[in-house]
Each structure stands twice: as C-alpha cells, then as structure tokens.
Amino acid sequence: MLPIFVINLDGSDERLRNVEQQLQSIGATFERIPAVDGRIMSEEERLAHYSPKKNEVQYHKALTPGEIGCYLSHRKAWQSIIDKGLDAAIILEDDIVCQSDLTDVQTFIESGFVFDYVKLSDHPNRPRKSSAVKMYGKSELVTFDKVPVRACAQIVSATGAANLLKNTEKFGRPVDIDLQYWWEMEISVHGIKPFPFAPAPDVASDINAVQSRSGVKSHRLRRIRQQISFKLNNALRSPKL
C-alpha cells in the first residue's frame, strides 16, 4: 500500500479521529502532516514563499493567511515525499469522505504507469469532463479538459513532488488553482474514477478556510484577463476529449 499523509491542523482532533476511522475501515494507515496555520505566522514567514508581486499578475485576489497556510501545508507534504525517498504517496486533507477501498489505486501503482499527479477526488459541484486512458480493475485512469479544483485527495510521485517544489518556491495563487496551471508546474495531471474520496459535505477545510475568501477584494478586470489567458493556454495544451 502506498504511504498516506493526512494534513491536519493542530487542535482539529475530531477531524483527525474521523479520517483515522475511515482509513482504518479500508485497512489503511497514515502519517499525520501537521498543517501550517497561516494565522500565527509572521509576515516574514508568510512572504518566504508567498509573493504579492506574483499574486498581482497571476490571481484576482490577495491570498488569505489560511490559503497561504494551506499551500505551505501541501509543500510540506511534497517535501516529505522527497525527504523520505518515496516513489509516491497519497496526500489527503482531513475533510474527506472515503468512498471506496484503494484496491484499484494499488493496481494502478503496481502497473508501473509513469505519472506525476493523480486526483483522487473531484469538486462536488463542478465535476470536470474527462476521458479514459486505461482501466485498472473497475476504475479508469482519466485525463481532464480542465483540472478540477480542490486538493483534498491525490497521489503525488517523487518526480511530481520535485517539480512542484521547484516551481512553487514563490507562489501567487491558491494551491488548487496553481495545479490547474499544470504546464507551469511541469507536471501531468490524471484522475482515477470513480473517485475513491470526496470532500465532506458542508465541512470547510480548516487549513484553507481560516479566513473567508469572500471578504477579500476581487479585481474584476484582472480576473477576466486571467480567465482568457488560462482558457487559451489550457485549450492549447490539454488533450482533446
């Protein structure tokens, strides 16, 4: 079984117990990755990787401390893959629902398919169009017309982790949005469907929603320019479905 990392904020004990029970029910164990709490970081600590200058160019809103902490938490998990010399690992946030066991995921891993990043969940309200690449057991490896947002469940390979770390030394977007710009990250993104995990309904991510994104000023013209640029680049690079 692949190593599993669960990102969990200190003090979120109930969430940790819940995800532990779910993983135990499918015979899986995990290692906890203490999440980075953006609220308690100094400005200097936040700016070590978050770049307001890149944010002005890349995204229509300044990132909240929670979004910065969420990004740094995922970078921490990616770094753990490298530090431990792992070929790959499953990275979960603690607000997930387990929908199936990981038998087909293990079959996929044992196949030797070379990958960077594999989504194990979709956005509950905005599922993306996908196309099958190959079957593994009762599941299919897919590519997407547009990478789904949310980063609550995924497999990341050592190569994927190394490229993600290299290309996010300075970041300006939320982590799930940056992953949609996979060509900038120098990674390929696949998915395994049916998705083994889903975001827990009506449960906000502790590591991401420390501060509401809705209270942050949005720059409308910047957003329009970025959307047009993304659509053009994504259309040129994504596989034709």
User: What's the whole-number mean pLDDT along residues 176-203?
Assistant: 94
User: What's the whole-number mean pLDDT along residues 113-129?
Assistant: 91
Residue range of the domain that includes 168: 4-237
Give pLDDT tens digits for 217-227. Answer: 778 888 888 88
Q: Which one has a higher pLDDT value, 196 or 238?
A: 196
- 121: left (phi > 0), else alpha (psi -120 to 50), else beta? beta
* 26/23 Cα distance (integer angstroms): 5
pLDDT score for 184: 97
CA neighbor of 101 nearest in space, from 24, 199, 183? 24
User: What's the whole-number mean pLDDT along residues 69-96?
Assistant: 98
User: What's the whole-number mean pLDDT along residues 193-199?
Assistant: 96
Question: What residues contact 147, with CB distance under 8 A and at least 6 apart?
Answer: 119, 128, 179, 180, 182, 189
* Structural domains in the chain (count): 1
Rounded to the nearest integer, the mean pLDDT of the chain is 92
* Strands (E) located in 121-218: 130-136, 139-144, 153-157, 189-193, 197-199
For residue 145, pLDDT over 80 is answered with yes
pLDDT score for 210: 43
Domain CATH for 157: 3.90.550
pLDDT score for 1: 85
Give pLDDT tens digits for 202-216. Answer: 655 555 554 444 556
The least confident of 68-72, 113-117, 226-230 is 226-230
pLDDT score for 126: 78
pLDDT score for 185: 97
Question: What residues contact 105, with CB distance under 8 A and at least 6 apart?
Answer: 2, 90, 120, 136, 139, 155, 192, 196
Provide the pLDDT confidence category of residue 241 given band limits of 50, 70 and 90. Answer: low
For residue 228, pLDDT over 60 is answered with yes
User: What's the whole-number mean pLDDT along residues 163-187?
Assistant: 97
